[in-house]
């Protein structure tokens, strides 16, 4: 059983630090350049979809099931077979799906932009209402926060627990302040913590009573099918169905894409929502485009064929990702377990591992790792405005490095955690 650092004497800590610094300097001398900064699929994962490049060629029938030539203009909602496939991925009826371009992040940006300039379903544009606000479960996805910051929307931190956001706080704020217009959510295998919302949390979202009639839940289903294990997977309630049961069908925008299913730069994105919300979105889309990339939609459908095909494909992704996650988690368990200088969870899916250090240490740990050749997501990025009040949360992204690189990166990370933590404990005495 390891002795917690806080229980060590000054002499013991200094002796431990001396040993650790020698290891750290050895790694530093190698001139490594390892990247754990973002949740990018590795080359091995990208190669899984290479066959998609062969399903269409100059001799292919380019027509969708209704006979429309996918090389031409039109079909603004997306070809029927793509709408059917993305509806299955989103667990909603096909009538509730609107196909966009290659990125769900782009759809979310457009949705906020539309609300700011046009309003939501006939209400006054957010941009003309004064200082509108958004709730932000933290730690969360930095690019969500980047969107609302770009539009000058005030962001309010909401604690994220293992069951989801603090719903007492969400219900109180949403019901009392009409300037709160939305909340960011990654409900399954959340970025970065890997937690999934409980049934109770989803039902409470569906039964919200917002003071603002133009309030919307921004439900980003980025990792809904990104399981790491075949026999141990998180399952969450489908929110649009729960909203309909509660008489709140217009309350949610759901976003999904194939970005980490096929090719991140060339996927298909969609929004799932009530028919009223989709009709509202089409008003802007009518002027924005005469139709998104139907050849890409056709390519995806012919490659995957159906949800069974997508599930089989995602098992191949899991086979590549699972050993990487387990390698990092095993290193954390082995090297930091019992030292009481950090905490983490073992996610069942998604793309990230969230690590919480001692307060006031995250920035120094990330900088220490960087100095030894490991690039990580900037400390604070998982909070609005890049400001983590406790300076403790660090997002680990195991997907991109090779297994060999990942082993090195994990060792350098835990060394950095130990060294910074020892300094912190010594300073506090």
> 147 and 13 in one domain?
no
Question: pLDDT value at position 38?
Answer: 87
Does residue 247 form part of some domain?
A: yes
> 155 and 76 in one domain?
yes
Per residue in 63-102, pLDDT tens? 999 999 999 999 999 999 999 999 999 999 999 999 999 9
Q: Where does a domain end: 257, 285, 305?
A: 305
Dist CA 185 CA 177 (whole Å): 19
> 17 and 108 in one domain?
no
Dist CA 358 CA 104 (whole Å): 34
CA angle 369, 370, 374 (to 5 degrees): 75
Up-side HSE of residue 228: CA atoms within 13 Å toward CB?
19
- What does the mean pLDDT of the chain come to? 97
> 143 and 232 in one domain?
yes
> 317 and 189 in one domain?
no
Question: pLDDT value at position 2?
Answer: 86
Domain CATH code at residue 179: 3.40.640.10
Q: Where does a domain end: 289, 305, 321?
A: 305
Dist CA 416 CA 410 (whole Å): 10
> 19 and 74 in one domain?
no
> 142 and 262 in one domain?
yes
Q: Give the pLDDT band of residue 169 (cuts 50, 70, 90).
A: very high
**Contact partners, residue 19, CB within 8 Å, separation at least 6:** none
3-state helix, strand, coil in the chain (%, to 5): 45, 15, 40
Give the tokens for residue 128.
């003309």
What predicted TM-score, i.e. pTM, was given to this entire model?
0.96
Does residue 413 form part of some domain?
A: yes
Dist CA 292 CA 80 (whole Å): 13
Q: Where does a domain end: 262, 282, 305?
A: 305
**Contact partners, residue 128, CB within 8 Å, separation at least 6:** none
> 189 and 97 in one domain?
yes
Does residue 51 form part of some domain?
A: no
Percent of the chain with pLDDT over 90: 98
Domain CATH code at residue 368: 3.90.1150.10
In the DSSP assignment, the letter for residue 409 is: H
Does residue 57 form part of some domain?
A: no
Number of domains in the chain: 2
> 274 and 126 in one domain?
yes
* Residue 377: domain span: 5-45+311-428
Dist CA 53 CA 300 (whole Å): 10
Does residue 279 form part of some domain?
A: yes
Does residue 53 form part of some domain?
A: no
Pairing of strands 252-257, 269-272: antiparallel
Instruction: Give the length of the chain.
Output: 429
Helix (H) / strand (E) containing 342: strand 342-344
Per residue in 232-277, pLDDT tens? 999 999 999 999 999 999 999 999 999 999 999 899 999 999 999 9
102-112 average pLDDT score: 97
Above 80 in pLDDT, residue 226? yes
Beta-bridged to residue 216, according to DSSP, are: 182
Does residue 66 form part of some domain?
A: yes
> 111 and 151 in one domain?
yes
> 282 and 378 in one domain?
no
Residue that the structure tokens 């200094």 belong to: 14
Above 90 in pLDDT, residue 429? no
> 123 and 75 in one domain?
yes
Nearest to 37 by CA among 424, 400, 418: 400
């Amino acid at each position: 059983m390891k002795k917690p650092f806080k229980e060590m004497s000054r002499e013991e800590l200094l002796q431990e630090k001396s040993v650790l610094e020698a290891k750290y300097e050895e790694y530093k001398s190698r001139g490594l350049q390892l990247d754990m900064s973002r949740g990018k699929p590795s080359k091995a994962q990208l190669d899984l979809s290479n066959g998609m490049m062969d399903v269409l060629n100059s001799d292919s029938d380019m027509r969708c099931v209704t006979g429309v030539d996918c090389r031409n203009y039109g079909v603004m909602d997306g070809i029927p077979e793509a709408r059917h496939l993305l509806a299955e991925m989103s667990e909603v009826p096909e009538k509730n799906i609107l196909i966009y371009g290659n990125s769900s992040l782009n759809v979310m940006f457009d949705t906020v932009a539309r609300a700011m300039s046009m309003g939501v379903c006939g209400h006054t544009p957010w941009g003309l209402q004064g200082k509108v606000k958004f709730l932000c479960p933290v730690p969360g996805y930095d690019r969500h926060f980047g969107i609302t910051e770009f539009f000058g929307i005030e962001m309010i931190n909401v604690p994220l627990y293992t069951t989801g956001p603090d719903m007492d706080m969400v219900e109180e704020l949403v019901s009392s302040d009409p300037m709160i217009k939305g909340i960011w959510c990654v409900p399954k295998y959340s970025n970065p913590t890997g937690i999934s919302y409980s049934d109770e949390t989803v039902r409470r979202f569906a039964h919200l009573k917002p003071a603002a009639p133009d309030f919307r839940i921004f439900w980003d289903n980025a990792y809904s099918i990104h399981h790491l294990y075949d026999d141990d997977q998180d399952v969450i309630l489908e929110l649009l169905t729960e909203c309909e049961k509660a008489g709140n069908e217009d309350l949610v925008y759901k976003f999904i894409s194939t970005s980490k299913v096929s090719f991140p730069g060339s996927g298909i994105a969609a929004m799932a929502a009530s028919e009223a919300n989709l009709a509202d979105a089409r008003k802007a889309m009518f002027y924005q485009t005469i139709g998104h990339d139907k050849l890409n939609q056709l390519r995806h459908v012919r490659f995957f064929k159906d949800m069974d095909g997508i599930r089989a494909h995602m098992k191949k992704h899991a086979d590549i990702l699972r050993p990487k996650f387990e390698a990092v988690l095993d290193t954390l368990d082995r090297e930091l377990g019992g030292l009481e200088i950090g905490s983490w969870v073992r996610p069942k899916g998604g793309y990230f591992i969230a690590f919480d250090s001692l307060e006031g240490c995250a920035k120094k740990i990330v900088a220490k790792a960087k100095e030894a050749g490991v690039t990580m997501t900037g400390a604070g990025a998982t909070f609005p405005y890049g400001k983590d009040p406790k300076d403790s949360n660090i997002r680990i992204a195991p997907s991109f490095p090779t297994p060999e690189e990942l082993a090195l990166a994990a060792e350098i990370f835990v060394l950095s955690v130990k060294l910074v933590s020892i300094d912190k404990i010594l300073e506090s005495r």
